[in-house]
Amino acid sequence: MREYLLLLPLIFIFHDMEEIVGFGWFFRKNPWLYKRFPKVMKSYTGFTEMGMAMAVYEELILFGGVSLAAYYFPGRILFSVWYGFFLVLAGHFCVHIGHTVYIRKYIPSFITSVISLPVSVIILIRASRFLTFDALTVTGIALSILIMIGNFFMLHAFMRKVNDRINDPDKNCNEVPIPGRF
């Protein structure tokens, strides 16, 4: 199983680079999204690449930390938490593919989701052979899924705060200027 552990942060960052680079452009080119999907797009009002990058960085630390911990301190609990995180990431790819199909338009994150989903499924199937799905393992997987769901909502709130701070010049008076903003 150790041979798969470090693939979680690598696949995650491969996918999320498309989101960081593409979402700002996509939201600016498609303002109709804010009217058609107001509840979903509320999280992305005033979107900045910096806010997105900081949220991605937090998740990378989480995925990398769990992967490294499971790699250097192998054990059922860490393996099951890692497995749950990987399940959530694979589900995340499915959501992006579903969004693209639903709105019938390319969404940044679609291409890497299509590439990463089959690879992730193969890794999950192969890694599952090393897990014994007893109460402890299932609890670890369920706990990690709950952690990631909570983290999703926390990150969106954090991203909104960062975006608000960047977009409000009065709050930036004592901060280092952001490249491209004067």
Summarize pLDDT for 75-90 with one digit per residue, the tens. Answer: 999 999 999 999 999 9
Q: What pTM did the predictor assign? A: 0.86
Reply yes or no on whether the pLDDT at 182 is more than 50.
no
The total of structural domains in the chain comes to 1
Q: Report yes or no on 172 lying in a domain.
A: no
Residue 132 is part of which domain span? Answer: 2-167
Q: What is the average per-residue pLDDT within 172-176?
A: 51
Q: Report yes or no on 8 lying in a domain.
A: yes
Q: Report yes or no on 10 lying in a domain.
A: yes
Contacts of 39 (CB under 8 A, 6+ apart): none
Q: Report yes or no on 173 lying in a domain.
A: no
16-28 per-position pLDDT tens digit: 999 999 999 999 9
Q: Report yes or no on 178 lying in a domain.
A: no
